[in-house]
Amino acid sequence: MKDLWIVIIGMGLGSFALRFVFLGLVGDRAMPDWLLRHLRYTAVAVMPALVAPLVIWPSATGGETDPLRLAAAAAALIVGYFSKSLYGAVGAGAAVMIAGAWLPI
Amino acid sequence: MDGTDVMSSYWRGVRNALPFLFVVGPFGMLFGVVATDAGLNIFETLMFSIVVIAGAAQFTAVQLMQDNAPTIVVLVSAMAVNLRMAMYSASITPHLGPLPLWKRMFVAYFLVDQVYAASIIDYEERPQQSLTEKFAFFMGVATPICPPWYLFTLVGAWAGEAVPPELGLDFVLPIAFIALFAPALRTGAHRAAALVAALMALAFAFLPYNLGLIVGAVAGMMAGAEIERRAGMQADRRPGA
């Protein structure tokens, strides 16, 4: 895979820097509110932005929208949202994918 | 500070973090399977987990490399996924900031989602702890989380080399990400951030180099922050609030 080691070492340094930045360099000084407010939504913004195109245009079907994958994603989202359980969500998504592979729809 | 207290803090940390084994195990194995499926060998897969030690970012990088995204886009996207680590760093600094530099470097390396979560909850519940006890607790929490992450990655990589690629593991990753963020959609601001991010990523999917991901993520963060700001202003105006 192209540039694999650049990615591994670059990500290693970058991840460490992100975790060290405040512990090591900022200390106890307060951060501006507007920055904290944006940082709070990083995880719930980045992951949906990453996943949405993969769900709508899956690479495995050559980019064609697939009802089964849509249903699996919806099941994982709904179960994860209401049960607050990571396992419940993975289980629901996997169950739909497996059911779709076995049932002659 | 005598040694018994330090050891009991360490073991309390180990006990509190044991349930996370059930998260780390499957996720580490999943990364091993997905990475070998993408063409990495066992050694490369294992080194990825040891050097980077950040699950969501590792999944992101492997996915983008598989899509032949340019290296700089892979790095920027993985760092965007990891930005929350800077928040953890900021939030734990009042507790562990006074440690000597080399210990802070250990803390930084092990500061992953579950270690942060278990530690900060304990520090808030037991504010009387000394610095030494807090550090011992932190290392106790990291023990059943970080080394198993390497180990399960290795197990998954072995298993992954045995799984034929046509088995269709492509959709395991999106499901895993949805499972990670869906339980975190607690407030209207969180839900708006997720919705705006997803829609903007789709609308800008035509951009080269997967820049649609960056556009979507930034738009989502701005949406969440703005809604929180307005909700805060309303709360301030409420009488007696």
**Triad B127, A21, B98: Cα angle to 5°:** 35
pLDDT at A72: 94
Residues of chain B positioned with their CB less than 8 A from the CB of A72: 171, 175
Report how many domains make up chain B.
2
Taking 3-state DSSP, the helix, strand and coil percentages for chain A, each rounded to the nearest 5, stand at 80, 0, 20
Q: Please, are residues B132 and B6 in contact by the beta-carbon 8 Å criterion? A: yes
Q: How much is the average pLDDT of A42-53?
A: 86
Lowest mean pLDDT among A54-58, A61-65, B12-16: A61-65
Taking an 8 Å cut-off on Cβ atoms, the answer to whether B170 and A77 are in contact is no
pLDDT at B240: 44
Q: What number of other Cβ atoms are within 10 A of residue B135's Cβ?
A: 25
Please report whether residue B180 resides in a domain.
Answer: no
Which B residues 20-79 touch A at CB under 8 Å? 22-23, 26, 38-40, 44, 47-48, 51-54, 56-58, 60-61, 63, 65-68, 71, 74-75, 77-79
Q: Are residues B149 and B202 in the same domain?
A: no
Q: For each successive 10 residues of chain B (241 residues), what is the average pLDDT?
A: 79 89 83 89 95 90 87 88 82 87 94 87 87 96 95 92 62 80 91 97 86 88 95 67 37
Give the closest-approach CA distance of A103 to chain B in angstroms: 16
Please report whether residue B172 resides in a domain.
Answer: no
Please report whether residue B174 resides in a domain.
Answer: no
Domain region containing B57:
3-167
Which B residues 82-101 touch A at CB under 8 Å? 82-90, 92-94, 96-97, 101
**Triad B217, A75, B172: Cα angle to 5°:** 65
Please report whether residue B39 resides in a domain.
Answer: yes
Which B residues 155-194 touch A at CB under 8 Å? 168, 170-185, 189-190, 193-194
Residue of B83, B76, B24 lying closest to B55 (CA atoms): B24
Question: In the predicted model, is pLDDT for residue A1 greater than 70?
Answer: no
Please report whether residue B179 resides in a domain.
Answer: no
For CA atoms B224, B227, B232, B235, give the dihedral sign.
negative
Q: Are residues B215 and B137 in the same domain?
A: no
Q: Are residues B29 and B147 in the same domain?
A: yes
Q: Are residues B123 and B190 in the same domain?
A: no
pLDDT at B165: 55
Q: Are residues B59 and B130 in the same domain?
A: yes
Last residue of a domain, one of B108, B141, B167: B167
pLDDT at A14: 95
pTM tops 0.90: no
Distance CA B207, CA B4 (A): 59
Q: What is the pLDDT of residues A8-41, one digit of tens each?
A: 999 999 999 999 988 887 665 666 888 778 877 8
Q: Are residues B35 and B100 in the same domain?
A: yes
